[in-house]
Chain A
Amino acid sequence: MRSVITIIGKDKVGITAKVSTICANRNVNIIDISQSVLKDVFVMVMLTEFENGSSIIPKLIADFKELSAQTGLDIRVINEDVFNSMHKI
Chain B
Amino acid sequence: MLNLLDIIETVNMIEQENLDIRTVTMGISLLDCADSDIDRSCEKIYKKIMGKAGNFVKTVNDIQCEYGVPIINKRISVTPIAMLVAVSGGDPVKYAEILQKCADDTGVDFIGGYSALVHKGYSAGDRELIESIPEALARTKNICSSVNIGSTKSGINMDAVKEMGVIIKRAAELTKDNNCIGPAKLVVLCNAPEDNPFMAGAFHGVGEPDCAIHVGVSGPGVVQSAIKKRPDGDVGEIAEIIKKTAFKITRMGQLIGTVASERLGIPFGIVDLSLAPTPAVGDSVARILEEMGLEQCGIHGTTAALAMLNDAVKKGGVTASSSVGGLSGAFIPVSEDAGMIEAAREGTLSIEKLEAMTAVCSVGLDMIVLPGKTPSEVISAIIADEAAIGMVNTKTTAVRVIPAIGKDVGEELEFGGLLGSGPVMNINISKSPKRFIDRGGRIPAPMQSLKN
Task: Fill in one digit per residue for B227-259: 1 if any A CB lies within 8 Å of its CB, else 0.
Answer: 000000000000000000000100110110000
The answer to whether B252 and A78 have CB atoms under 8 Å apart is no
* A6-B7, A34-B4 as given contacts; A79 in contact with B251, CB under 8 Å: no
CB distance from A78 to the nearest CB of B (A): 3
CB distance from B68 to the nearest CB of A (A): 3
The answer to whether B15 and A87 have CB atoms under 8 Å apart is no
The answer to whether A4 and B254 have CB atoms under 8 Å apart is no
Residues of A contacting B14 in the complex (Cβ-Cβ under 8 angstroms): 76, 78
| Chain B at the A interface: SS class | helix
* A34-B4, A78-B69, A87-B2 as given contacts; A8 in contact with B11, CB under 8 Å: yes
Which residues in chain A, 35-89, are within 8 Å of chain B measured between CB atoms?
36, 38, 43, 45, 47, 53-54, 57-58, 61, 74, 76-87
Which residues in chain B, 1-43, are within 8 Å of chain A measured between CB atoms?
1-4, 6-11, 14-15
The answer to whether B68 and A3 have CB atoms under 8 Å apart is yes
Of the candidates A82, A84, A86, A87, the one whose C-beta lies within 8 Å of that of B68 is A82
The answer to whether B8 and A85 have CB atoms under 8 Å apart is no
Whole-angstrom distance between the alpha carbons of A47 and B2 in the complex? 9
The answer to whether A76 and B66 have CB atoms under 8 Å apart is no
The answer to whether B67 and A81 have CB atoms under 8 Å apart is yes
The answer to whether A79 and B4 have CB atoms under 8 Å apart is no
How many residue pairs link A and B with beta carbons under 8 A? The number is: 74
* A32-B1, A34-B1, A86-B251 as given contacts; A57 in contact with B8, CB under 8 Å: no
CB distance from B398 to the nearest CB of A (A): 30
Q: Please name the residue on chain A nearest to B319 by beta carbon.
A: A89
The answer to whether B2 and A83 have CB atoms under 8 Å apart is yes
Residues of A contacting B4 in the complex (Cβ-Cβ under 8 angstroms): 34, 36, 43, 45
The answer to whether B6 and A87 have CB atoms under 8 Å apart is yes
Query: Chain B: how many interface residues by the 8 Å CB criterion?
Result: 23
Find the residue from B1, B4, B68 having the highest chain A CB count within 10 A: B68
CB distance from A72 to the nearest CB of B (A): 14
Of the candidates A4, A58, A61, the one whose C-beta lies within 8 Å of that of B7 is A4
The answer to whether B68 and A77 have CB atoms under 8 Å apart is yes
Residues of A contacting B69 in the complex (Cβ-Cβ under 8 angstroms): 78-79, 82
Residues of A contacting B2 in the complex (Cβ-Cβ under 8 angstroms): 4, 45, 47, 80, 83-84, 87
The answer to whether A54 and B67 have CB atoms under 8 Å apart is no
Q: Please name the residue on chain A nearest to B2 by beta carbon.
A: A83
Residues of A contacting B65 in the complex (Cβ-Cβ under 8 angstroms): 54, 57-58, 61
Taking A74-B15, A79-B66, A86-B252 as known contacts, 15 extra A-B pairs with beta carbons closer than 8 A to each other, sorted by chain A number, are A3-B68, A4-B7, A6-B8, A45-B2, A45-B7, A47-B1, A76-B11, A78-B11, A78-B68, A79-B69, A82-B10, A82-B69, A83-B6, A85-B255, A86-B251
A and B contact pairs by CB, cutoff 8 A, 21 listed: A1-B66, A3-B68, A6-B11, A34-B4, A36-B4, A43-B8, A45-B4, A45-B7, A53-B66, A74-B15, A76-B15, A76-B68, A78-B14, A78-B68, A78-B69, A79-B66, A81-B67, A82-B67, A83-B2, A83-B7, A86-B251
- Give the A-binding residues of B (Cβ under 8 A): 1-4, 6-11, 14-15, 62, 65-69, 248, 251-252, 254-255
